[in-house]
């Protein structure tokens, strides 16, 4: 069985609301198996949404956005490393 994972929730929320941050404005959680492999056991959900002025999206809506926008292949520009200037040791 395939579940909508924590990582997919975070990536979709980042796509829709670039300034909303997991762990700060909301928490994405999901149930995993008690094993070293952390196998998903349920769809993820959003816990404690506190983003001001933005209504909490449903997981069904996030799944739809994920599928319609091919977010599996989207590189979040807010989650990319940046380098300014020369790097020296």
Q: What is the pLDDT of residues 1-16, one digit of tens each?
A: 589 999 999 999 999 9
Residue pair 56/49 in contact (Cβ under 8 Å)? The answer is yes
Local confidence band at 44 (pLDDT 50, 70, 90 cut-offs): very high
Tell whether the model's pLDDT for residue 58 goes beyond 90.
yes
Give percent above pLDDT 70 in the chain: 83
Least Cα distance to 25 among 52, 4, 63 occurs for 52
- What is the rounded CA–CA span in Å between residue 4 and residue 67? 11
């Amino acid at each position: 069985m395939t579940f909508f994972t924590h990582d997919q929730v975070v990536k979709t929320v980042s796509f829709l609301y670039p300034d909303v941050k997991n762990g700060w404005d909301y928490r994405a959680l999901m149930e995993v198996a008690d094993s070293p492999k952390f196998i998903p056991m349920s769809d993820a959900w959003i816990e404690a949404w506190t983003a001001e002025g933005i209504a909490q999206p449903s997981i069904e809506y996030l799944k739809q956005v994920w599928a319609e926008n091919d977010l599996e292949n989207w590189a979040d520009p807010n989650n990319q490393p940046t380098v300014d200037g020369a790097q020296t040791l």
